[in-house]
Structure 1
Amino acid sequence: MATSSPLLRYAESRKNLTGSLCGLAGVGIALTGAAGPLWPLVVGGLYAAGALIAPPERPATPEFAEEGDRLDGVRADFATLRAYLAEVELSATARERLTALDTLVEALLEPGWVTDPEHLHVLARTVRQDIPEAVDTFVRTRWWSRFTSGAEAPEGHLERQLAALHEEATAIATALQEAEAIRQHIHTKYVEGRGN
């Protein structure tokens, strides 16, 4: 059986293992006679309770091979980041914001656009540190927030972080757009001035 089988993945999951341990406790209770004729319900109920309280599976945060601010390295790490993000469960709003940020970063990382080392450094930091840390922290916090009433929802924090990162990437895109507009204007003046 392949390890990618959903049944095998569930059999190895934290939810199944925790549920099985709780179910075994239920079997122990049943063997003492405390559960009476309802022992199957006790065992099943304890398994279900264990599966519900178990922490969710979370994909491992990506490890990036590159550390410098070379465009090719950042592009390779961006592909790694995308594979990680595809495995993470997010709310619809957070996924929408992440998709918008992903699209913008992808466009900025196209060869020939970002030449300023400072802009490339910001994009490298966004890909290698900011997005993975924001998403991983959300995944970890989301489970614990079930036990803490009145706390701010982790989705709100993630959405605000993604909005701030999108704003930062938009500033880079705006700077590139302005630079291209100036370049076009200068070239127009140059071409028109040759005729005089």
Structure 2
Amino acid sequence: MATSRFLGHLESRKNIAGSACGFVGLVLTFTGVAGPYWPVVVAGLYGAGALVAPPERPPLPDFPDPSAQLDELRGDFERLGHYLADVELPPAASGRLTELTALLGALLEPGWVADALAADPEGVHVVARAVRQDVPEAVDSFVRTRWWSRLTPGTEPPERHLEQQLGLLHEEAGRLAAALRETEAGRQETHTRYLQDRRQ
């Protein structure tokens, strides 16, 4: 560990700049300019060079690229599908859930749609949050609340909340799909203008 730190210091910008300035001090010494104070001159120039050298820049963290994030998200979406297949839902809620998962699946489908999604970090976050948090939480809270509702009849049916939650999530995913479509349409319009300008 100490050896690697020492080697790192030898290769650092500060040491290289300080050594270059210290070499100038040796040249001044051999030419007689530094006189009897040459050790102070060499050390001072080395220190000055080390001070003015730019600081070391640590390497950027190696985060996975967006396509790798979507691959992982597709695996989570598949696991979510297995979980939802084991849950019994009322017909209305089941229909809304089917619409929502179909839209999420279309956004995650490998190809140009997923490529457009990968270019939108906020969009990836929206889909990831729906898959990993919002949908499982909505369904699980319905299952737990439904059990308590059987013990306390007359309370508000939990499926109403589930249907509302799934509807809101579908609207959010729909807004994301519309935004991605607008981005693609903008690219198309930009290319049209480029071709028109090229004729002039």
TM-score, reference length from structure 1: 0.63
Could you tell me how far 1:151 is from its partner in structure 2?
Answer: 1.3
User: Match of 2:93?
Assistant: 94
Q: Distance in 1 between matches of 2:199 and 2:75?
A: 47
Cα RMSD, aligned residues only: 1.5
Q: Give, in whole Å, the separation in 2 of the partners of 1:116 and 1:96.
A: 29
Matched, 1:156 2:160: yes
SS in 1 for 2:155: coil
Alpha-carbon deviation of 1:112? 1.2
TM-score by length of 2: 0.62
How far apart, in 2, do the equivalents of 1:150 and 1:120 lie?
Answer: 41
Deviation at 1:83?
A: 0.7
Whichever structure has more helix as a proportion of its residues is 2
- The answer to whether the aligner puts 1:126 opposite 2:130 as a matched pair is yes
- In the alignment, structure 2 segments of 5+ residues that lack a partner are 1-64
User: What is the CA–CA distance in structure 1 between the aligned matches of 2:145 and 2:80, rounded to whole Å?
Assistant: 20
Q: Does 1:116 pair with 2:115?
A: no
The Cα of 1:125 is off from its aligned counterpart by 0.8
Aligned-residue offset at 1:195 = 1.7
**2:26 alignment partner in structure 1:** none
Q: Partner of 1:149: helix, strand, or coil?
A: coil
Structure 2 Cα separation of the partners of residues 187 and 79 of structure 1: 37
Moved over 6 A (4+): none
How far apart, CA to CA, are the structure 2 residues paired with 1:83 and 1:182?
37
- Aligned residue pairs total 129
Q: Which amino acid aligns with 1:123?
A: V
- Deviation of 1:113 after TM superposition, in Å, equals 2.7
Quick check: which has more Rg, 1 or 2?
A: 2
Residue 146 of structure 1 aligns to a residue whose secondary structure is helix
The aligned counterpart of 2:61 is none
Distance in 1 between residues matched to 2:71 and 2:159, nearest whole Å: 32
**CA-to-partner distance for each residue in 1:98-125, whole Å, 9 max, x for gaps?**
0000011011112313021111011101
Amino acid at match of 1:176: L
Residue 103 of structure 1 corresponds to 102
- For 1:181, the equivalent position in structure 2 comes to 185
Identity among equivalent positions (%) equals 57
In structure 2, how many angstroms separate the alpha carbons of the residues matched to 1:79 and 1:147? Answer: 34
Q: Which moved more, 1:105-114 or 1:159-168?
A: 105-114
1:162 Cα deviation (Å)? 0.3
Distance in 1 (alpha carbons) for counterparts of 2:151 and 2:106: 40
Deviations 1:51-90 (A, max 9, x none): xxxxxxxxxxxxxxxxx97111111100000011011000
> What is the deviation of 1:150?
2.5
Report the equivalent of 1:43: none
Superposed, 1:32-181 pairs within 5 Å as 70-110=69-109, 111-114=114-117, 115-181=119-185
